[in-house]
Amino acid sequence: MSSSYTSEVFVSKEAPNFECEAFMPNGEFETVKLSDYKDKKWVLLFFYPFNFTFVCPSEIIAFSDSMEEFEKRGVQILGCSVDSKFAHRTWTRLPTSEGGIGQIKYPLLADVNKTIAKQFGVLHTDGMALRGTFIIDKNGVVQTSSINNAPIGRSVDETLRIVDACQHFEKYGEVCPMNWRKGKRAMNPTPEGVASYLLNKKVTSENGTENTVQN
């Protein structure tokens, strides 16, 4: 599968603004703009192919179940597909035992004219959105983007890890090396910083605990 549109989104550049109707956690329909969150919250914008499909419910519910962790980090989650707001409402009103997703704690955007999917370069020739994931900071700048093929589900833990890394750099100016996680050692973006990090890297001791090796 491949996207059929050229993306307007570039990492390190401002995300294109959009406006569309959405089904909200309170059960109402509202108009949502990306600019509503600028200077207020980070945004996790994720696209999924269609309602009433297979991998999609697992992702949507997992993000909803993890909402508290994203809120701790000041992140607003926005789910988006090319389904209508009415289809979103119907899907959330069905229990999981009947193929529904139940109540969701964040807005589901109704990109029925496929404008947002086109803007973000995730619209497939089949007319669905691929699994695009975009982390946008408070300034409206895209910090990370990734696109999975339809059969490949995402990881909430990895998404949170990336948010933590983005926010760590924003706060401290330190860059985050391979497999970095919140609370672990980062590095100064200088030759000296790299040398210091590598000379003080973590190793696993025989009893399974992590120790810092000073060289």
Catalogue the active-site residues. Answer: 56
DSSP 8-state symbol, 124? B
Residue 72, SS3?
helix
Question: Which residues fall within 8 angstroms of residue 190, CB to CB, at 6 or more apart?
Answer: none
DSSP 8-state symbol, 15? P
CA distance 100 to 52: 7
In contact, 106 and 71? CB cutoff 8 Å: no
In contact, 203 and 211? CB cutoff 8 Å: yes
Single-letter residue type at 138: K
CA distance 189 to 176: 9
CA distance 60 to 131: 11
